[in-house]
Amino acid sequence: MLVIPVIDIRNGRSVRMVEGLEDKTVYYSESPLNMARLFRKENAKVIHITDLDGAVSGKRKNYELIKEITETVGVPIQLGGGIRTIEIVNQLIRELGVYRIVIGTSAIDNIDLIADLVKEFGRSKIVISVDVRNGYLVKDGWGNITDIHALEFALGMKALGVERIIYQDVSRVGKLEGPDLDALKVIAESTGLKVTAAGGVSSYKDLKNIQSLERYGVDSVMMSRALYENKFPCQAIWREQEKIDTSLELPKVK
């Protein structure tokens, strides 16, 4: 089970959203770069970045910051947030060095874009974020609910050549109440897609429960609050090191 730390960026800072509601934003760090370095020290193999400003405006406000992270950290960076054109994807992958792109709202509003992206960049580079509330898709930074059912949408993405989705119940995001295991199983088993779980993970027990779905295609999990708030004993040594090593120098990546 691959654990993918999440760094949500708003106004150049690392934040946590609760249920996607702006008035519940919690700021964790003035430096997303330092958080990325710390997660790398904690042996992260992949890091996910959500550009929350981009998700709302569609503009690349945090471009230079994200570029610095991709050039510094030394592990693949997965990026989502307001990615709406093939030109932006081309820039992010071929100029910025982002390993994999996550598409959310644009997959709902512009189906043709997804087919073009898969054809141009390949299946491994394009991931679709299935963000749901009560089983139905939400979009525009989770602010608007649609009448599109998650399973119907995921099957449509598969027909376009998509091979991986991120399934996220936004009502669980940032609340440490556990993932929706039943929904994860249904969407993985019904679609045959590779599925990354997100939203609600709070403990080692949650990770083990998600791992039990691996045979259905749930092979990875994205986490934010539980990692930021040091919910796993193995993190303690790194967080103590963080206190005394403010430079957060990276180990050499072999």
CA distance 73 to 56: 26
Q: What is the set of active-site residues? A: 8, 131
State the pLDDT at residue 56. Answer: 64
State the pLDDT at residue 24. Answer: 54
Reply yes or no on whether the pLDDT at 123 is more than 80. Answer: yes
Instruction: Average the pLDDT over each of 16-20, 54-58, 87-91, 199-203 and give the range with the smallest value.
Output: 16-20
Q: What is the pLDDT of residues 40-83, one digit of tens each?
A: 988 899 999 998 876 666 667 788 999 999 999 999 999 998 89
State the pLDDT at residue 241. Answer: 47
Domains of the chain, start order: 2-243 (3.20.20.70)
State the pLDDT at residue 21. Answer: 46
143 band by pLDDT with thresholds 50, 70 and 90: confident
